Amino acid sequence: MIDLKEDERIDDIQRKGYKIIQNVNKFCFGVDAVLLSDFARVLKGDRVLDIGTGTGIIPLLLEAKTEGEHFTGLDIQKDCIDMAGRSVLLNNLSSKIDMVCGDINNAGEIFKDRYFDVITTNPPYMIGDHGASGENMEKAISRHEIYCTFEDIARESSKMLKNKGRFYMIHRPFRLVELFATLTKYKLEPKKMRLVYPFCDKEPNMVLIEALKGGASRLEVMKPLVVHKSPDEYTDEIYEIYGKDRGSENG
């Protein structure tokens, strides 16, 4: 029996019957985490690290849909790691997933002599704490570069990835120039990019990137991914990613 704390609930992640514990007043996972887990390529036997794991949704989704050997979530927030760890126990996945509380800036020490085939991250999008004053601290940490910058993530990921290891991220298009410059600085060569559009007639608001440690310079720009047909209906591709039947977004 898994104990729930105040304001926590158990949600179905629509994969293999797995459940996740989330706090309704803190940061719950959204479509960006689902898109990242679909975009990331995890092969049989791969060892995967998810940086800034939050609720632990990405390790759970990747374990459910790939043949990866082991999945680790890292987050600086103790409450998040406690909640994610209880989700692991809830799904009887302690042998496949572990959750680690720690600072990405100390990741080289935390995972000393451990190397990963794949690293995923859904990092804070906003620079510093600009605009974070109206949010609770948990949400602010998830959305703003308060405890780490993207450069911190790229630098430490390069240390922990095996040669030719794969790095997957979702971010905001307005920072693309900075993202590419930082990735290449740490020998994480961008190989694939996919822009995500909320509607077909709107500007993109997310971007998915795959980078290869030590890879050659060659970028594939994939076809756009459109999320909504209408305000209350996803596109067919998004329904396929979620693994849901067609119908309303809330159905």
For 182-238, write each residue's pLDDT tens digit: 999 999 999 999 999 999 999 999 999 999 999 999 999 999 999 999 999 999 999
The pair of three-digit structure tokens given for residue 136, joined into one six-digit string: 């609770």
CA distances (Å), 4 to each of 1, 7, 20, 22, 55, in order?
10, 8, 11, 9, 14
- At 138, the amino acid letter reads E
Q: What mean pLDDT value characterizes the chain?
A: 89
Task: Please give the residue range of the domain that contains residue 78.
Answer: 8-242
- What contacts 54, CB < 8 A, 6 or more positions away? 27, 29, 33, 75, 77, 80, 84, 122, 142
Residue among 199, 235, 189, 170 nearest 39 (CA):
170
2 located within any domain: no
Three-state DSSP state, 45: coil
End-to-end CA distance of the chain: 29
The pair of three-digit structure tokens given for residue 206, joined into one six-digit string: 């997310």
251 located within any domain: no
CATH number at residue 207: 3.40.50.150
147 located within any domain: yes
What is the rounded distance in angstroms from the CA atom of residue 43 to the CA atom of residue 32? 21
108 located within any domain: yes
- What contacts 95, CB < 8 A, 6 or more positions away? none
What pTM was estimated for this model as a whole?
A: 0.90
Which residue in the block uniquely carries the two structure tokens 């794991």? Answer: 53
250 located within any domain: no
| Greatest Cα-to-Cα distance within the chain, rounded to the nearest angstrom | 51
60 located within any domain: yes
What is the rounded distance in angstroms from the CA atom of residue 237 to the CA atom of residue 228? 10
pLDDT digits (tens, 9 = 90+) for 133-158: 455 555 444 444 456 899 999 999 99
Say if residues 12 and 184 touch (Cβ distance below 8 Å): no
Three-state DSSP state, 121: strand
Three-state DSSP state, 234: strand
pLDDT digits (tens, 9 = 90+) for 16-53: 999 999 998 887 888 999 999 999 999 999 999 999 99
The pair of three-digit structure tokens given for residue 45, joined into one six-digit string: 């036997």
Higher pLDDT, 127 or 244: 127
Q: Which of 96-110, 125-139, 223-237 has the lowest mean pLDDT?
A: 125-139
- Indicate whether 132 pLDDT > 60: no
Say if residues 170 and 35 touch (Cβ distance below 8 Å): yes
Domain count, the chain: 1
CA distances (Å), 141 to each of 25, 84, 105, 138, 146, in order?
14, 16, 15, 5, 6
Q: What is the mean pLDDT of residues 158-176?
A: 96
164 located within any domain: yes
